[in-house]
Structure 1
């Protein structure tokens, strides 16, 4: 599915990824965690081909992605901040993405699911942050992609929309999809993630299940387990 080998990325003098290696070779929900500046978004954008690494190897579905773009057809992406032309209406944006992808989508079902019917003719500039995020979720799940990458998907969502998003993630997982999520909402990770990839200072500090992390840190919940991993001179190398 996804194989990352010795990935390095610097922006000028700032080294963001320092020899990151991990593999995801089964369907499921994987949470990529780490504090701000740990390299999470850079890692996801490298998998998407939006950031070119200084060196290292990246394979998606068994094929190296260097100078390739075809593989992206099988990836759905929900960015942390999606930027679209502000003067487009929600309907125009959805139609534009459908035209670009040239594939049939399931936008009608998702629009109803997230209660967006009354916003379809509104311009993006007139929407609240939470409503924009619902539109972004529709765009990300509109096509039947086998890999879904979500960067802070819960931003601005109300409790009802958050429940719908969790259900949607669960349904996609049951279809055999591979889902990568970054989030600061630990309860979301505890509810949906099967495996955690924990980045610390540009390196993989831990990869394993929530239970393994709890056992290793001797903590009962994820927040405390991660806090324990951040303690300097800890013995929590994996």
Structure 2
């Protein structure tokens, strides 16, 4: 699905990605983790074409993304911070995204799932952070695409919405989709991820299953295992 070779990105004097190599197969949930400044966001934005690397290649489904944009139609992206136009109503935003994408969508099912019907006529500027995140989730999952990228998807969610999100992610996985997730909530990662990619100082320090991670760090849960990786390389 995704093949990354010798990816290098520098912002000024700051080397963010250092000849990073990563192969991600089709299907499954991959958590991309690492301390602040490890390069997670730059890696994701490079895959999305929002950041142009200084060197290296990225291919999706065997096709290089360099100087391309149409491939993004097959990716759904949930950003960590969604800056919606505050004057729009929720239903207006959803309609606008549908008109832009011109693809079949399943927003009604998702609106019902996350209890957004009472908010459809509300302006986005009046919504709480958690409700905005639910809108963000609807916009991300209402189209059928093979690759989904979720940047801190649990932010602001109440326990009931979090349970629904986890089930939604698992349902998409069962359809054969590839889902990349970043999160600081290790319990969430442990519950949903099939594989973990741990970035450190711009390169990959660990890639493998949760079982392999626990064996490597001699820990019994993901939170302690990740803490062990971080402190061991501090």
User: 1:168 is matched with which residue?
Assistant: 168
Matches of 1:163 and 1:119 in 2, distance apart?
20
Q: Deviations over 1:60-101 (max 9, x none)?
A: 111000010111111110000111211111011001100110
User: 1:6 is matched with which residue?
Assistant: 6
User: 1:83 is matched with which residue?
Assistant: 83
- Deviation of 1:42 after TM superposition, in Å, equals 1.0
The worse-fitting range, judged by mean Cα deviation, of 163-172 and 1-10 is 1-10
User: 1:224 is matched with which residue?
Assistant: 224
SS in 2 for 1:199: strand
Instruction: Please list every run of 5 or more consecutive structure 2 residues that lacks an aligned counterpart in the other structure.
Output: none
SS in 1 for 2:56: strand
1:55 matched to 2:55? The reply is yes
Q: 1:109 to 1:53 in 2, by over 3 A?
A: same
Matches of 1:147 and 1:35 in 2, distance apart?
24
The worse-fitting range, judged by mean Cα deviation, of 167-176 and 14-23 is 14-23
Matches of 1:101 and 1:77 in 2, distance apart?
13
TM-score by length of 2: 0.98
Conserved? CA contact 2:35–2:230, under 8 Å: no
Matches of 1:14 and 1:86 in 2, distance apart?
35
TM-score by length of 1: 0.96
Q: CA RMSD in A?
A: 1.1
Matches of 2:217 and 2:177 in 1, distance apart?
30
User: 1:24 is matched with which residue?
Assistant: 24
1:157 matched to 2:157? The reply is yes
- Deviation of 1:233 after TM superposition, in Å, equals 6.0
Conserved? CA contact 2:38–2:201, under 8 Å: yes
